């Protein structure tokens, strides 16, 4: 498993992590087994949020990581409607309770909402001072949002920006990714396979490109896709896996390196397209 430096933190974090969006909708014991298998394979970056299953996903993560907290880079998120100064602190404390831990390695604002960024940041600073979070970042921030945030906090404060990023949705490469790289902010891509049924099949032209590259590496097309999405030092990805078998496939991308020709083939098969604003959740 490869590691990259995680933004403004001093942590080296696995490039392939574990997302937990909708993990609460499956069989709990199977989801817990998947998370634990991921930890065994070095996927120690676990991402969750108070929104996921209204806290149920956090509870599952807490059960899955019991006794192994020291291994994990644990991330959760505050909903924008809770992101006042006091609301941020209270939301984090609820998340810590559900996660059965005394701290988060990183805490994110899930997306922009009604509360001023200054208030959310003040909540983050209170949590940092009290040792309840070790770093903080944002999610679904476009360049204008990032500029505003930077004008408030300055350098070496923002750990990451978590955004939608998969082969058929590469619009962050126009401006968001360059901005983050200039400012030392990591980019964590969620939904790396797209929405259900969106991953290119083996009989499509783009799918055949992935399959051809995969065959040369004794890999799978999904592993090739993940390797492309973490090809730069600023990039991480957090695929969800609801079974140990699926998580094993994801982990197999952790040490897969694509050469320049292969990256160019994928780039041609999945063009960036026009710039679009990030989705507002």
CB neighbour burial string for 230-268, b if at least 16 within 10 angstroms, e if fewer: beeebbbbbbbbbebebbbbbbbbbebebeeebeebbee
Sequence-distant (6+) residues with CB within 8 A of 36 are 64, 68
52 is annotated as an active-site residue: yes
Measure the CA–CA gap between 58 and 14, rounded to whole angstroms. 20
Instruction: Tell me the torsion sign for CA atoms 103, 108, 110, 112.
Output: positive
232 within 8 A of 258, measured Cβ to Cβ: no
Measure the CA–CA gap between 213 and 221, rounded to whole angstroms. 8
Beta bridge partners, 78, equal 109
Angle between helices 28-40 and 244-251 (to 10 degrees): 30
Point out the catalytic residue in the list 52, 107, 165, 190. Answer: 52
47 within 8 A of 88, measured Cβ to Cβ: no
CB neighbour burial string for 64-77, b if at least 16 within 10 angstroms, e if fewer: bbeeeeeebbbbbb
* Residue whose entry in the numeric block shows the structure tokens 């032209």: 205
Q: Is 138 helix (H, G, I), strand (E, B) or coil?
A: strand
Instruction: Give the active site residues.
Output: 52
């Amino acid at each position: 498993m490869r590691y990259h430096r995680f933004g403004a933190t001093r942590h080296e974090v696995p490039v392939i992590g574990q997302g937990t969006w909708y993990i609460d909708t499956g069989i709990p014991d199977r989801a817990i087994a998947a998370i634990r298998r991921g930890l065994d394979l070095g996927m120690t970056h676990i991402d969750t949020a108070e929104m996921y299953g209204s806290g149920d996903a956090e509870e599952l993560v807490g059960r899955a990581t019991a006794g192994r907290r020291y291994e994990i880079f644990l991330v959760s998120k505050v909903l924008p409607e809770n992101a006042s100064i006091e609301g941020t602190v209270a939301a984090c404390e609820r998340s810590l309770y559900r996660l059965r831990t005394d701290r988060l390695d990183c805490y994110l604002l899930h997306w922009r909402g009604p509360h001023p960024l200054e208030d959310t940041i003040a909540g983050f600073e209170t949590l940092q001072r009290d040792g309840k979070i070790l770093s903080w970042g944002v999610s679904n921030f476009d360049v204008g949002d990032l500029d505003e945030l930077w004008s408030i906090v300055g350098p070496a404060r923002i750990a990451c920006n978590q955004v939608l990023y998969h082969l058929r949705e590469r619009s962050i490469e126009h401006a968001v990714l360059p901005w983050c790289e200039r400012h030392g902010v990591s980019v964590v891509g969620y939904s790396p396979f797209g929405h259900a049924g969106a991953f290119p099949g083996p009989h499509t032209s783009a799918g055949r490109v992935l399959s051809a590259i995969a065959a040369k590496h004794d890999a799978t097309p999904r592993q090739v896709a993940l390797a492309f999405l973490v090809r730069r030092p600023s990039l991480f990805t957090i695929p969800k896996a609801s079974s140990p078998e699926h998580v094993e496939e994801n982990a197999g991308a952790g040490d897969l390196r694509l050469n320049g020709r292969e990256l160019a083939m994928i780039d041609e098969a999945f063009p960036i397209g026009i710039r679009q604003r990030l989705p507002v959740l």
